């Protein structure tokens, strides 16, 4: 089974802090994604990556950056956390060739971040 793990389930940070959210997948997936989930808004794509050292902006990249130095690891960085970044953050990965081209995504358990 594919396993996507996230470094923390719950995180509390102060306004202005630099925050790192880590995501690791163990199935050699090429594609990795970061979403934030807010009530009534569903999942919104922040950034995604097709390969090591590659990144693409999603729908809401402002205030975030990402790093992908190794294929299995995709990090989300909040350079200066703000209260409006309090949210649930979900990481996902996919590998179209392995899933017959379906592009289905496998999700981690999420990190609930609170910025005070």
Partner 1 sequence: AQSVTQPDIHITVSEGASLELRCNYSYGATPYLFWYVQSPGQGLQLLLKYFSGDTLVQGIKGFEAEFKRSQSSFNLRKPSVHWSDAAEYFCAVGGTDKLIFGTGTRLQVFP
Q: Which of 65, 104, 114, 116 binds partner 1 (CB under 8 A)?
A: 104
**Residue 82 or 87 with smaller CB distance to partner 1:** 87
Q: Taking the alpha carbons of 97, 98, 101, 106 in that order, is the dihedral positive or negative? A: negative
**Dihedrals φ, ψ of 112, to 5°?**
-90, 110
Q: Does 108 bind partner 1 (CB under 8 A)?
A: yes
| Rounded-to-integer distance, Cα 48 and Cα 63, Å | 15
- The window from 13-21, 35-43, 60-68, 71-79 that contacts partner 1 (CB under 8 A) reads 35-43
- DSSP classification of residue 101: T
Least Cβ distance, residue 97 to partner 1 (angstroms): 12
Q: Is residue 73 a contact partner of residue 24, using CB atoms and an 8 Å limit? A: yes
Q: Does 48 bind partner 1 (CB under 8 A)?
A: yes
Interacting residues of 7 by C-beta distance below 8 A, sequence separation 6+ = 20, 21, 22, 23, 111
Least Cβ distance, residue 44 to partner 1 (angstroms): 8
Least Cβ distance, residue 47 to partner 1 (angstroms): 11
* Interface residue list for partner 1 (CB under 8 A): 4, 9, 31, 33, 35, 40-43, 45, 48, 50, 58, 90, 92, 96, 101-110
């Amino acid at each position: 089974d594919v396993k996507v793990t996230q470094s923390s389930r719950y995180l509390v940070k102060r306004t202005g802090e630099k925050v790192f959210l880590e995501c690791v997948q163990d199935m050699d997936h090429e594609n990795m994604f970061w979403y934030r989930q807010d009530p009534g808004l569903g999942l919104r794509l922040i950034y995604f990556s097709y390969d090591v050292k590659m990144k693409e902006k999603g729908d809401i990249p402002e205030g975030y950056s990402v790093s992908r130095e190794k294929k299995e690891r995709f990090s989300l960085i909040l350079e200066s956390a703000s209260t409006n970044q309090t949210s649930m953050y979900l990481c996902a990965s996919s590998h179209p060739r392995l899933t017959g081209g379906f592009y289905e995504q496998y999700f981690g358990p999420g990190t609930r971040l609170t910025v005070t």
